[in-house]
A and B are shown apart, each in its own frame.
Chain A
């Protein structure tokens, strides 16, 4: 096993397509790797649903902005799939500045039987060709090719942190620190700015947009989160520029826990609408919160991801870990939510039973078909066997990105340059 971690192999985004058949990962080197689920076969039922590499392509390359003297990273920040409408698959992938629409298609046939070339491959003199031969399609080995169908560029001054496809399947939004832009998938030279929080005087800047997402069913509704811990819901029908929100979700601060780090840990790193469209989940540094869209004053549920870090905020500020952006995901039925933590731990919370579990994504603990053992972080004085103390946590091993299959209990967890796929045990 090669133990070297190349920086460019670090996975920066993970996403299942709407059917769950495909799983895409993007990495720091600008590459996209698409996995496809094996079809179930009666002869090998134990190989149910394994994901194998289907396509690999270079989505983005590093660029240099000469005007600003800045390098534009090729790291893929987000991938979002479009629902499948024909034989080909489409996905949007983005780096800091440019969104691209990729078409992934299969080719397993080739026309053969041309009589236009001789055996060496040289083109024959047309005057020597006396008969008409219609080429016949022959089966060939499967070829999967990815082509960039659209490039949406030059619309963002700041770094793109999110993209979200609208339920109308015609438009999508791309979001940077200060603006949200609306695009039509067909049109690359125009985009509409629908949210702009840039102040006239940049010295007044105290808040940035951290994530944005379209509502899964209402094509006019979108939500965006801020570094101050609030979420704004906007209705695009009301006005062209959605600077005023319809709803404003923010939990009042608990004065007893106030510190200099309060604002930083309240910054929302990810938002996700539930599949049902009734709820919205937000992830800040220490918690995951579930909000009912009808209640703006406080979340309906708050889950502690790693509250034992609350006493270590100063160190985490010092080493910058406090700025880590963790993502969160719903399962298909919205009954379980999942998010990552440090030490390659990730957490799942069952909203109905109120039970939670901590699991670890690591090679030592994951043999094929072995059941993951729950992990525990010891917060008190006495450490039990198998427990991990807070001080021994490896803060360089963080699970920022994960995905849940839209229907089944299959999860994909990215730990640095490794992708772990876990499934429910087949009974």
Chain B
């Protein structure tokens, strides 16, 4: 089962998450330089521990917040107030992390691992990865995003622990392979969703949890075969879809004063994701909607996102799709 898989990888990842060198680096930025590893006196060691514990907590809060943002966009009616408050929290954390240099390190690590991960055949999260082809205009290889696995259906604490670990695992993995790269941004992706077909299924649900679980299943764009399988299984059995698939996409930052911040709310393809859509869950333009779903089901191949200028839906087609899904 995916959760236990994630737990195992998480244990490994946590160990690597803050390698000693990194810790020292953080503490160095705050205190007088510590020479070597043997001369650390008691007080600075305690300070280092405290700082790294704070960093860990802060990181876990960031992960939790990003997950919440992702999840809430998959609910039927996302609560705008809650979304805004969570987003503001993320922004605060990001600002603080930018100030103490952590942010840059993390994003570098993520992009490095990204690049590395693309090549490896037995990626830890192979089946969960949902690729999204973006920046076709940028003409670069698609960076594989990081999935977040979670569920609204399970008891909150248990689930969020897993989600945290999952997210931490992702981050952890990447941080263990730090290598200098162009600074990139940490972007929660895929706020778009296609609730159409899910909602048809959820009509008779008695259990609120089930309903939320189903709505949590999410599609993101086009891409790999793994994604195809994912989609197929989701379509076939929406009721057991317990997992939330989100993507953290890496991209080059725009040359603006606060690139990471904007990335939180925008996407490369600005026409593709509008914050209005994001925060209100409005799907007036279902960009990743049933459209792409059906297209890819029939074509069995990645359809480049740029082709979803067909994402301008018109009502007739939307109705048609819903008919198909409802099975009328």
Binding site for B on A (CB under 8 A): 7, 64, 66-73, 96, 157-159, 177-178, 201-203, 205-208, 210, 227, 260-261, 263-264, 267, 314-315, 317-320, 323
In contact, A202 and B283 (Cβ under 8 angstroms): no
Query: A158 contacts which chain B residues (CB < 8 A)?
Result: 80, 280
Name B318's closest neighbour in chain A (CB-CB): A66
Q: How far is the CA of A323 from the CA of B283 in the complex (A)?
A: 25
In contact, A208 and B80 (Cβ under 8 angstroms): yes
Neighbour of B208 across the interface among A7, A207, A210, CB < 8 A? A7
In contact, A208 and B77 (Cβ under 8 angstroms): no
Q: How far is the CA of A253 from the CA of B243 in the complex (A)?
A: 39
Query: A203 contacts which chain B residues (CB < 8 A)?
Result: 262, 265-266, 275
Report B127-148 CB contacts with A as 1/0, cut-off 8 Å.
0000000000000000000000
Name B90's closest neighbour in chain A (CB-CB): A260
Query: B286 contacts which chain A residues (CB < 8 A)?
Result: 69
Given contacts A69-B194, A69-B195, 15 further A-B contacts (CB under 8 A): A67-B315, A69-B318, A70-B77, A71-B76, A158-B80, A178-B80, A202-B265, A203-B262, A203-B266, A205-B84, A206-B91, A208-B81, A264-B85, A318-B156, A319-B156
**Is B279 on the interface with A (CB-CB < 8 A)?**
yes
In contact, B85 and A263 (Cβ under 8 angstroms): yes
In contact, A323 and B282 (Cβ under 8 angstroms): no
Query: A159 contacts which chain B residues (CB < 8 A)?
Result: 77, 79-80
Q: How far is the CA of A73 from the CA of B87 in the complex (A)?
A: 24
Query: B289 contacts which chain A residues (CB < 8 A)?
Result: 69
Query: B92 contacts which chain A residues (CB < 8 A)?
Result: 260, 263
Residues of B264-319 at the interface with A, using a CB-CB cut-off of 8 Å, are 265-266, 274-276, 278-284, 286, 289, 315, 318-319
Q: How far is the CA of A70 from the CA of B281 in the complex (A)?
A: 8
Neighbour of A206 across the interface among B58, B76, B88, CB < 8 A? B88
Query: A227 contacts which chain B residues (CB < 8 A)?
Result: 81, 84-85
In contact, B275 and A68 (Cβ under 8 angstroms): no
Name A261's closest neighbour in chain B (CB-CB): B89
Q: Please report the total number of B residues contacting A with Cβ < 8 Å.
A: 45
CB distance from A149 to the nearest CB of B (A): 27
Query: What's the count of A-B pairs with C-beta under 8 Å?
Result: 100
**Is B157 on the interface with A (CB-CB < 8 A)?**
yes
Q: How far is the CA of A69 from the CA of B193 in the complex (A)?
A: 10
Known: A7-B208, A203-B275. A70 touches B195 (CB 8 A): yes
In contact, A267 and B81 (Cβ under 8 angstroms): yes
In contact, B208 and A318 (Cβ under 8 angstroms): no
In contact, B89 and A69 (Cβ under 8 angstroms): no
Q: How far is the CA of A318 from the CA of B262 in the complex (A)?
A: 25
Neighbour of B81 across the interface among A68, A177, A314, CB < 8 A? A177
Taking chain A's interface residues, is the majority helix, strand, or loop, or is none over half, making it mixed?
Answer: loop
In contact, B77 and A73 (Cβ under 8 angstroms): yes
**Contact sample, A vs B, 28 pairs, CB 8 Å cutoff:** A7-B208, A64-B199, A68-B284, A69-B283, A70-B282, A70-B283, A72-B77, A73-B76, A73-B77, A177-B80, A177-B81, A202-B276, A202-B279, A205-B275, A205-B279, A206-B87, A227-B84, A260-B61, A260-B92, A260-B93, A263-B85, A264-B89, A267-B81, A317-B64, A318-B157, A320-B156, A323-B79, A323-B85
Name A315's closest neighbour in chain B (CB-CB): B157
CB distance from A417 to the nearest CB of B (A): 14
Q: How far is the CA of A230 from the CA of B64 in the complex (A)?
A: 27
CB distance from B115 to the nearest CB of A (A): 28
Name A228's closest neighbour in chain B (CB-CB): B88
Query: B58 contacts which chain A residues (CB < 8 A)?
Result: 260
**Is B187 on the interface with A (CB-CB < 8 A)?**
no
Query: A7 contacts which chain B residues (CB < 8 A)?
Result: 208
In contact, A202 and B275 (Cβ under 8 angstroms): yes
Q: How far is the CA of A206 from the CA of B80 in the complex (A)?
A: 10
Report B58-81 CB contacts with A as 1/0, cut-off 8 Å.
100100100010000000110111
**Is B160 on the interface with A (CB-CB < 8 A)?**
yes
Query: B30 contacts which chain A residues (CB < 8 A)?
Result: none
Name A73's closest neighbour in chain B (CB-CB): B77
CB distance from B77 to the nearest CB of A (A): 6
In contact, B81 and A210 (Cβ under 8 angstroms): yes
Residues of B31-64 at the interface with A, using a CB-CB cut-off of 8 Å, are 57-58, 61, 64
Query: A66 contacts which chain B residues (CB < 8 A)?
Result: 315, 318-319
**Is B82 on the interface with A (CB-CB < 8 A)?**
yes
**Is B196 on the interface with A (CB-CB < 8 A)?**
yes
Q: How far is the CA of A318 from the CA of B289 in the complex (A)?
A: 30
CB distance from A257 to the nearest CB of B (A): 15
Neighbour of A323 across the interface among B64, B82, B276, CB < 8 A? B82
CB distance from B322 to the nearest CB of A (A): 8
Residues of B77-115 at the interface with A, using a CB-CB cut-off of 8 Å, are 77, 79-82, 84-85, 87-89, 91-93
In contact, A263 and B88 (Cβ under 8 angstroms): yes
In contact, B84 and A319 (Cβ under 8 angstroms): no
In contact, B199 and A71 (Cβ under 8 angstroms): yes
Q: How far is the CA of A315 from the CA of B92 in the complex (A)?
A: 19
CB distance from B313 to the nearest CB of A (A): 9
CB distance from A312 to the nearest CB of B (A): 13
